[in-house]
């Protein structure tokens, strides 16, 4: 059984994707009352753990995957562009902190490195993250994510300083991949581009997860 914990839950997008793929959503963090009521109906067995800033990873039920789409307003080209220094988009660092705390706690239980939870980390955000702070914010996202597995790592800017819409990092015992996906190819009647970043802290599956297709774009399975 693969389990999931979702931060910045909203109305449960990641938990919904999880259950359609045989993954069990265990807990979610959200502070707005209406979305919480929605997800209580849709996922009655999912625990609501409250404000992300008050959570401690070592006290949460350990899960295999931590997902989160941290607030995008400070990264979006339509916003003030305060970036990760902004009050809202800066909450990304709480996703990092909670993941580290949970992994440290699981490691203390004597788990082998590839079994420490969460093994997988997923982050979703707007493409404006590539250019925020002149590209430094996405560099920080990659470095902070990589440092969950390797605290010494430093990631250089790409040639020309401009981040591509897809890429991957192959670490010694971890992998990170990112890709821009557009919701119009998954049955949504609008263009809605988002960055999806996947980290595998126990192996090399992140590029496989994001880049290997099971079907053609637009060939969505009926549920």
Q: What is the pLDDT of residues 133-187, one digit of tens each?
A: 899 999 999 999 999 999 999 999 998 889 999 999 999 889 999 999 999 987 8
Distance CA 148, CA 49 (A): 22
Confidence of residue 74 (pLDDT cuts 50, 70, 90): low
**What pLDDT is recorded for position 70?**
86
Mean pLDDT of 7-26: 97
**What pLDDT is recorded for position 223?**
44
The secondary structure element, H or E, covering residue 170 is strand 166-170
The three-class DSSP label of residue 124 is strand
Residue positions annotated with a catalytic role:
72
How big is the chain, counted in residues? 223
pTM tops 0.95? no
**Could you tell me which residue, 172 or 6, shows the higher pLDDT?**
6
The three-class DSSP label of residue 29 is coil
The percentage of residues in the chain with a pLDDT greater than 70, rounded to a whole number, is 87
Number of H helices, E strands in the chain: 5, 8
């Amino acid at each position: 059984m693969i389990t999931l914990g979702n931060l910045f839950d909203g109305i449960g997008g990641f938990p919904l994707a999880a259950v359609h793929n045989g993954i069990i959503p265990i807990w979610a963090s959200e502070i707005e009352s209406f979305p919480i009521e929605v997800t209580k109906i849709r996922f009655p067995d999912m625990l609501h753990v409250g404000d992300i800033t008050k959570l401690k990873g070592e006290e949460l039920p350990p899960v295999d995957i931590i997902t989160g789409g941290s607030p995008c307003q400070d990264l979006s080209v339509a916003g003030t562009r305060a970036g990760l220094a902004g009050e809202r988009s800066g909450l990304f660092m709480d996703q990092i902190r909670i993941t580290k705390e949970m992994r440290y706690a699981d490691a203390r239980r004597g788990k082998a490195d590839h079994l420490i939870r969460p093994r997988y980390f997923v982050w979703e955000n707007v493409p404006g993250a590539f250019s925020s702070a002149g590209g430094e914010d996405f560099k920080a996202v990659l470095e902070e994510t990589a440092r969950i597995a390797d605290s010494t790592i430093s990631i250089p800017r790409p040639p020309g300083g401009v981040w591509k819409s897809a890429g991957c990092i192959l670490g010694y015992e971890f992998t990170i991949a990112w890709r821009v996906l557009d919701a119009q190819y998954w049955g949504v009647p609008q263009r809605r581009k988002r960055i999806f970043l996947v980290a595998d802290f126990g192996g090399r599956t992140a590029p496989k997860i994001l880049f290997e297709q099971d079907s053609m774009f637009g060939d969505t399975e009926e549920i």
